[in-house]
Structure 1
């Protein structure tokens, strides 16, 4: 039976809605596979590869399939899962731009850490920027996070976040509706976003333009009856246009995790402990000097090396140590910022 579902899932143009309609009309899976020329030989290969790589393939009737995802208009007929899903878990999505500012990264990381510390699961798309920061924040708090991919779970993209995907799968889950080995396509990310919002009770947007993928996710969340929230930003920043537009349209303005918890009818946290970044380990004198000079605004490696009067290779080693201690964050282009 599973091979029929997997085979039909590999046929372009045969989506969840069309398949559901035909099944409701009385067509059998076997007849649909024959009609649409489903590649059952490839489906068998997919199932074998999944078993070898500890990847679960869930179809809609599987007991492990998320109940909340079944409620959307077009739930995936097949889900590839690396890791584990928790039945009945309450999840919140945190999404935003790939080209995030230091402020946006810090907001995403702190919100995710605080929410995960309250027992909520943080969902995002593993992209660079806000998505990665949200996953990292949840992991830093020892919580659960789910990454929903636009390609196969066996080769997560972007490749720079492949190690992050491995860490996520150890305590959370990496999900996709796309077959193993499939690379992301332009259209696969917007379709992926309906799963991100569909898994959650709420979607929080942290930075993004008015036509960004994060706003696509927010619109899908509205259509699915989910709560939509947004973190405000600088009024002169292009990255604030998306969240500010959502707030103008009635989205909940989020400043702390309490704003999220209240909207979900959960008890607010009376202490700020859960919103604080992870404690920094004991620092050396050289590391303390770096933090003093670095500050909250991104600074390039070469500029920092000149300020400290140390060779670039020495500074790189010190910055790596600070990253491991969760004290600094490396941004694209060899820029660094204090967490």
Structure 2
């Protein structure tokens, strides 16, 4: 009975501490850094909440201390908790088992995380980041890696941004696995807005996370803070596409400071969106050609799965086209054999094929309508990657 009572008391203490951290976070100017300062100085948020005015002023005479003193007496922590519950927003602190384990080890770990969805103890993640202005090649690579990592039971971590982030999340979902999206705003602000449907799909098995309380809009200065969490919760960071001046490289800097592994995907030498990746490779990042390059470096034993390499197994495409009973199947397969994730101009396709220009144009249109290829500006074509 004593052991049960002690356990119950400890759980109650954690919940009370979390409640007070939530209350502190609702005060303007008291973000994760200020809250860490309060906890470090007083020993806990609860003791800081109970501290005298003179005790609080020992932290300084800044305006945030004055505001804290003023607001503390007016706030009802229970009401703030109820408001979060109505928005279906949950919270977790490092003292709880389902707080991301790797993040807990960091000196600047958020003393309070907000999340929607599911967090389980012991989950291990790999971050996939890159350009918002992703090329078809980059999107295909991110989706492929997201899918294969998810199939290995790893959580795919990214930031819900346009481009590579979106592709990584979609790949993880296609792999029937978990993915976490870490936001640079409160969870009641989904950015970009066109990813609202994607966010809903993520919540079915994964989670949306933020260190910012509800009501905080996405601001440019918040995204570097978000990036340190993307790398912080993960074993390693994979950069799929990044220009030389890219926000993804901020995540890499965070990863290196945190002792995480950094991986990079090589890209076409003509693509400015791959210059940052090539620079990382020159600086010692691990080159990734398939998911096993990541798993072996991090000592994960790969599951026995039939992994599809990009552009190397067109059996699904053949089955899809065959099911449509198309009369031009042999010619369509000939066109597909020339295409990959690198853009190819229609004139190059005509030159390589045994067909006339008009035949190639018709076949390309048929393949587009079948969802097998994508047309890019300038009459260039790539395979439509299928997760």
- TM-score normalised to structure 2 length: 0.72
Q: Give the Å deviation of 1:7.
A: 3.2
Q: Which residue of 2 aligns with 1:170?
A: 204
Is 1:66–1:87's contact at 8 Å kept on the other side of the alignment? yes
Is 1:29 paired with 2:48?
yes
Is 2:42–2:48's contact at 8 Å kept on the other side of the alignment? no
Residues 202-217 of structure 1: matches in 2 within 5 Å? Answer: 202-217=236-251
Is 1:94–1:122's contact at 8 Å kept on the other side of the alignment? yes
Q: Which residue of 2 aligns with 1:222?
A: 256
Residues 1-339 of structure 1: matches in 2 within 5 Å? Answer: 1=16, 2-11=18-27, 13-26=29-42, 28-30=47-49, 31=51, 35-37=66-68, 38=71, 41=75, 46-268=80-302, 273=307, 275=309, 282-283=320-321, 284=324, 296=341, 322=371, 338-339=384-385
**Rg: which structure is higher?**
2
Question: Number of residues paired by the alignment?
Answer: 321
Q: Larger deviation: 254-263 or 64-73?
A: 64-73
3-state secondary structure, aligned to 2:134: coil
3-state secondary structure, aligned to 1:160: helix
Q: Give the Å deviation of 1:267.
A: 2.5
Cα distance between partner residues in 2 of 1:134 and 1:46: 34
Q: Give the Å deviation of 1:36.
A: 4.4
Consecutive unaligned residues in structure 1, runs of 5 or more: 300-306
Does the C-alpha gap of structure 1 residues 50 and 88 become closer, same or farther in structure 2, counting only changes over 3 Å? same
Does the C-alpha gap of structure 1 residues 82 and 330 become closer, same or farther in structure 2, counting only changes over 3 Å? farther
Consecutive unaligned residues in structure 2, runs of 5 or more: 1-15, 57-63, 345-360
Does the C-alpha gap of structure 1 residues 208 and 55 become closer, same or farther in structure 2, counting only changes over 3 Å? same
Does the C-alpha gap of structure 1 residues 126 and 65 become closer, same or farther in structure 2, counting only changes over 3 Å? same
Cα distance between partner residues in 2 of 1:76 and 1:290: 54
- TM-score normalised to structure 1 length: 0.81
Q: Give the Å deviation of 1:58.
A: 1.7
Is 2:152–2:302's contact at 8 Å kept on the other side of the alignment? no
What value does the CA root-mean-square deviation take over the aligned residues?
3.5
Is 1:4–1:29's contact at 8 Å kept on the other side of the alignment? no
Is 1:127–1:157's contact at 8 Å kept on the other side of the alignment? yes
Is 1:114–1:257's contact at 8 Å kept on the other side of the alignment? yes
3-state secondary structure, aligned to 1:215: helix
Cα distance between partner residues in 1 of 2:171 and 2:224: 24
Q: Larger deviation: 34-43 or 232-241?
A: 34-43
Cα distance between partner residues in 2 of 1:143 and 1:248: 32
Does the C-alpha gap of structure 1 residues 169 and 46 become closer, same or farther in structure 2, counting only changes over 3 Å? farther
3-state secondary structure, aligned to 2:196: helix
Summarize deviations over 1:94-136 as a string: whole Å, max 9, x none: 0000001111111111111111111111000001100000000
Does the C-alpha gap of structure 1 residues 200 and 46 become closer, same or farther in structure 2, counting only changes over 3 Å? same
Q: Give the Å deviation of 1:235.
A: 2.0
Q: Larger deviation: 284-293 or 160-169?
A: 284-293
Does the C-alpha gap of structure 1 residues 11 and 251 become closer, same or farther in structure 2, counting only changes over 3 Å? farther
Does the C-alpha gap of structure 1 residues 43 and 96 become closer, same or farther in structure 2, counting only changes over 3 Å? farther
Q: Give the Å deviation of 1:42.
A: 8.4
3-state secondary structure, aligned to 2:42: coil
3-state secondary structure, aligned to 1:171: coil
Q: Give the Å deviation of 1:202.
A: 0.4
Q: Which residue of 1 aligns with 2:358?
A: none
3-state secondary structure, aligned to 1:220: helix
